[in-house]
Amino acid sequence: MRYSYYPGCSSEATAKANAHSIEGVAKALDVQLEEIPDWNCCGASVASGVVGDFTQLVVTARNLAIAETKGLDVVTGCSSCYMTLAVANKKFKQDEHFRAKANEALAAAGLNYNGTLQVRQFLDVIINDVGLDKVAQKVKKSLDGLTVAGYVGCQTVRALPFEFDDPEQPVFMDRLMEALGATAADFPMRARCCGSSSTIPARDIVLDLGYKIFESAVAGGAQVIVTPCPMCQLNLDAYQSLVNRKYGTNFNIPVLFFTQLMAVAFGLSLEDQAFKYSIVSPYEALVQYSK
Amino acid sequence: MVTPDKERAAEQAVPHSFKKKRGDNYFMEQKKIFSEPVKYDLTFAREIYRLENGSYIKQCMNCGLCTVSCATRDVMEYPPRQLFNLIKLGKKEEVLTSNTFWSCTSCCTCKARCPRGIPIIDVMHDLKKYAIEYGYTDYPQAAFYKAFWTEMSSRGKMFEGGMTARYFLTRGLDEIVKAMDMKDVGISMLKHGRMPLLPPKKIKGLGGLKKIISKAQELDRKEAAR
Ligand code: SF4
Ligand code: SF4
């Protein structure tokens, strides 16, 4: 299985753990990820608020245009990048007027995109291309006894509803955790918003939503939260102490990328498990599984 | 700013005929809130309808599903449904000075649920852009959005350090003081190797990217002028 890979800006900064664990897990599952040469920032859900949807979608499509020369579908491990890339891609496929106009802009840099690729979340690739059977076969250290809250977040399942899971109560993350031997926590907040990039300009949004998410996870008996999204991971991990301060709680629940738990269950290297980037330490919760 | 009164009043905005039946008192209550009685001024509404996704607002049937779904409705002055209604009523100042679209986190819940298929988050993007263009930039998010774009378009990649610096430069000392209790977060990010102090390399195709951006903006302007 070969794909073009779009790492996204967070892979070089706040979400290094995502990048390392995706690399490790992909290798273990014989998924070849080939980084898109000279990729650029997708603009997340922010750029269009300054320059408009069209400009942002074209900027995003520069990556698709470069990838198309190789003909491999694009995979990303970031929910926000997924949303932007997938929405742009869909526009190229479905809206002729948009495609012509966007290609006129891309031509300014000698590029062109015909809309022949698919854009996929890494989670989607694991579930639908690799398959849970193969995942289960690779498990060396079953996560038996561990209860995991599968926090899918917003954009993964709602950017393009029903593209690969239910937009309200997605189930794929839970099934994946079960394939690793873990128990999926009953966790109604699994697809609610974490507050996204409000941390700097309106922090309380993130703290209030974070509180509700932690409460729901803990009530479901979760020892660990996993997510496919760098923004969710950052908000829930780095700001957990501020949630505790604001609400007088003492949540101490590690928040990992789902690929980190896969790396643990597959018995991959500590480098691939990438615990050292975690602010809320996962070592205690996972001591009996991680080598 | 947000007052429960204002919110309730907007919630209760009902047609004239209905108000009359309720008697004088009810009408006075309404008057306290709105600068003038409800009067349709289509100039502003038409301007908004002309934005990239603006015409979708016309399809809104005021069912309120977006409001009950919204992740940030607790902090919004007007939830999405009310905002769309205010746009239709031509309430320009109320709309542009509200924190509604700035509070939107682009979580897509409303977009996925709206029975009329309105891409609400994209409308919110349009309103942000419009507000910035017309100088309604008092909310901190406006500075954040601009900092993000400047950083991204000058490098081709996002550098959080640079964006944060730009943001605080615009917002000034007050905001820095308010953010002081976040320093622990910053320090632990640094300690765990998640906050590089140096920016990533500029992309090689930065020149091309800039050309794409200005061409896209030019095409947008051309289409808007039509
Ligand atoms: S859900 Fe859609 S139709 Fe209903 S009020 Fe919101 S925008 Fe209007
Ligand atoms: S996308 Fe924005 S308006 Fe819609 S539910 Fe989420 S926060 Fe609310």
Atom of ligand 2 nearest to the CA of B69: 5
Distance A72 CA to ligand 1 centre (A): 38
pLDDT at B37: 56
| Confidence class for position A15, pLDDT limits 50, 70, 90 | confident
Give tens-digit pLDDT for A77-88: 998 999 999 999
Q: Is the dihedral of CA A291, A185, A231, A115 positive or negative?
A: positive
Q: Indicate if the pLDDT at residue B10 is higher than 60.
A: no
Cα-trace Rg, chain B: 21
pLDDT at B151: 85
A53 and chain B in contact, CB less than 8 A:
yes
Q: How far is residue B170's CA from residue B64's CA, in Å, rounded to a whole number?
A: 36
CA dist B190 → A13, A16, A134, A278 (Å): 10, 13, 37, 11
Q: How far is residue A132's CA from residue A115's CA, in Å, rounded to a whole number?
A: 29
* This prediction's pTM: 0.87
Q: Indicate if the pLDDT at residue A236 is higher than 50.
A: yes
Residue with more model confidence, A64 or B9: A64
DSSP class of residue B221 equals H
Burial category of A140 from C-beta neighbours within 10 Å (exposed 0-12, middle 13-18, buried 19 and up): exposed
Nearest CA to ligand 2 atom 4: B110
Q: How far is residue A281's CA from residue A275's CA, in Å, rounded to a whole number?
A: 8
Give tens-digit pLDDT for A164-218: 788 888 889 999 999 999 999 999 988 888 888 777 777 888 899 999 999 999 9
Give tens-digit pLDDT for B165-215: 777 777 776 777 677 767 777 778 788 888 777 788 899 999 999 999 999
pLDDT at A219: 94
pLDDT at B23: 41
| Confidence class for position A33, pLDDT limits 50, 70, 90 | very high
Q: Are A109 and A154 in contact (CB under 8 A)?
A: no
pLDDT at B39: 64
pLDDT at B38: 59
Q: Is the dihedral of CA B206, B207, B211, B217 positive or negative?
A: positive
Distance of CA A240 to the CA centre of its chain: 19
For chains A and B, CB pairs below 8 A equal 212
Ligand 2 near B69 CB (within 6 A):
yes
Lowest pLDDT segment from A27-41, A58-72, B193-207 = B193-207
Count of Cβ atoms closer than 10 Å to residue B177 Cβ? 9
pLDDT at A60: 96
Give tens-digit pLDDT for B85-102: 999 988 888 899 999 999
B83 and chain A in contact, CB less than 8 A:
no
Site to probe by mutation for ligand 2, drawn from B60, B66, B109, B128 as the one with most ligand atoms within 8 Å of Cβ, is B109
Q: Indicate if the pLDDT at residue A48 is higher than 90.
A: no
A145 and chain B in contact, CB less than 8 A:
no
Phi, psi (deg, nearest 5) at residue B49: -60, -25
| Confidence class for position B119, pLDDT limits 50, 70, 90 | very high
| Confidence class for position B161, pLDDT limits 50, 70, 90 | confident
Q: Which ligand is nearest to the CA of B106?
A: 2
Two structure tokens written together for A282: 């996962």
Q: Indicate if the pLDDT at residue B5 is higher than 60.
A: no
Which B residues in the span 42-71 are in contact with A, Cβ-Cβ below 8 Å? Answer: 52-53, 71
Lowest pLDDT segment from A181-190, A279-288, B33-42 = B33-42
Nearest CA to ligand 2 atom 5: B70
Q: How far is residue A106's CA from residue A67's CA, in Å, rounded to a whole number?
A: 14
Please answer yes or no on whether A200 and B164 come within 8 Å at the CB atom.
yes
Lowest pLDDT segment from A157-166, B47-56, B78-87 = A157-166
Please answer yes or no on whether B75 and A202 come within 8 Å at the CB atom.
yes
Percent of chain A at pLDDT exceeding 70: 100
Give tens-digit pLDDT for B140-155: 888 888 888 888 888 8
Tokens 């016309």 belong to residue: B58
Q: What residues does each domain of chain B span?
A: 37-133, 140-213
Which A residues in the span 217-256 are in contact with B, Cβ-Cβ below 8 Å? Answer: 238-239, 241-242, 245
Two structure tokens written together for A284: 């205690």
Residues in chain A: 291
Catalogue all structural domains in chain A, each as residue range(s) with its CATH number. 2-121 (1.20.1050.140), 139-286 (3.40.50.11810)
Two structure tokens written together for A201: 């300009």
- Give the one of B105, B129, B220 whose C-beta lies nearest to A195's C-beta: B105
pLDDT at B195: 78
Q: In what order do the strands lie in the sheet with A255-257?
A: A183-184, A147-150, A224-227, A255-257
Q: Residue A205 is which amino acid?
A: I
Q: Indicate if the pLDDT at residue B19 is higher than 70.
A: no
Domain B37-133: top CATH class: mainly alpha
Q: Is the dihedral of CA A28, A32, A33, A35 positive or negative?
A: positive
Q: Nearest CA to CA, how far is A107 from chain B (Å)? A: 8
Distance B66 CA to ligand 1 centre (A): 5
Percent of chain A at pLDDT exceeding 90: 70
Q: Indicate if the pLDDT at residue B13 is higher than 50.
A: no
Distance A79 CA to ligand 2 centre (A): 16
Q: Are A157 and A173 in contact (CB under 8 A)?
A: no
ipTM: 0.89
Q: How far is residue B85's CA from residue B90's CA, in Å, rounded to a whole number?
A: 9
pLDDT at B113: 92
Percent of chain B at pLDDT exceeding 90: 38
